[in-house]
Amino acid sequence: MIKIIFFDVDGTLISKQNPIIKEDVISALKHLREKGIYLIVATGRHKTEIDELKLEESFVFDGYLYLNGGYCVFNDTVIYENKLAVQDVEYMQDYINNHDLACLYVERDEIYLNRVNQNVIDAQASIHSLIPQVKTVSDFNELYQINPFVGASELEGLLSGTKESKATSWHEKAYDVIPMSSGKKAGIEILLKHLQLTKEESMAFGDGENDIDMFQTVGYPIAMKNASCHVKSYACYICGDIDEEGILDGLKQFYLI
């Protein structure tokens, strides 16, 4: 019996064409809540970006796994957080400065850029996000993520001197660098333990590379039709496209609505 469902945001709850949760999906979420199912957002985004999208004006979820599981909140209580290793940040910052890379820096309460270039503009536009402020990093101890706006070869160089960091992509020229021990998997495992739920009682909807470890952690991984073939290979069911009522399709397939 499904008791908790995790939802990715971009390409799952909202589309590139229309960054709001559709009314029929909201109705389905309300029905799930009436059945006592916990509803959780699992996203690479920061809280300020979720606020910017005004998702809570449509529906207030029970919990939020922000920053690819690096900062997790349930019923307004922080249950888990995971910051980048300082030695890795120091190496990456030297590499960033030496190669003039554009990066987004993520702290608990704010996000900011070191510079803006076309990669930044294109990637932020693809997820309906504003360009954050530009400022200098003041404290290497407070970083949860560094998001470089680079190609694959530049990313390889950026990570080459790190020991406790990994990356996941969300745009062809944008990545999230997170702790090796982080990821949506880590956040989900912490929350399942917190709620005394099992893997078999959990479901997840997603479409991106950063959803793969989420799919490996829940009992019922559902991939959107708009996901890549690689992501779909980790799913137990391929539901409809984000613009074709995909979530409703997945929920109906498992008799949840």
Would you state the structure tokens that stand for residue 135, as one six-digit string?
Answer: 């400022």
What does the pLDDT look like over 81-94, one tens digit per residue?
999 999 999 999 99
The yes-or-no verdict on residue 138 having pLDDT over 90 is no
Would you state the structure tokens that stand for residue 215, as one six-digit string?
Answer: 């799919």
Instruction: Give 222's pLDDT tier (boundaries 50, 70, 90).
Output: very high
Please tell me the distance from the alpha carbon of residue 36 to that of residue 38, in angstroms, as a whole number.
6
The pLDDT score that the predictor gives to residue 129 is: 87
Instruction: Give 19's pLDDT tier (boundaries 50, 70, 90).
Output: confident
Instruction: Give 17's pLDDT tier (boundaries 50, 70, 90).
Output: confident
The pLDDT score that the predictor gives to residue 244 is: 86
- Beta strands in 114-187, from DSSP E residues, in sequence order: 145-148, 165-171, 174-179
Mean pLDDT calculated for residue range 56-70: 94
Q: What are phi and psi of 161, to 5 degrees?
A: -100, 10
The yes-or-no verdict on residue 55 having pLDDT over 90 is no
Domains of the chain and CATH, by start: 4-81+182-253 (3.40.50.1000), 86-179 (3.30.1240.10)
Instruction: Calculate the average pLDDT of the chain.
Output: 95
Task: Name, in order, each residue with C-beta under 8 angstroms of 62's C-beta and a sequence gap of 6 or more.
Answer: 38, 39, 40, 74, 75
- Beta strands in 2-153, from DSSP E residues, in sequence order: 4-7, 38-42, 63-66, 71-74, 77-81, 103-106, 111-113, 145-148
pTM: 0.90
The pLDDT score that the predictor gives to residue 127 is: 87
Mean pLDDT calculated for residue range 64-84: 95
% of the chain with per-residue pLDDT over 90: 88
Please tell me the distance from the alpha carbon of residue 158 to that of residue 152, in angstroms, as a whole number.
10
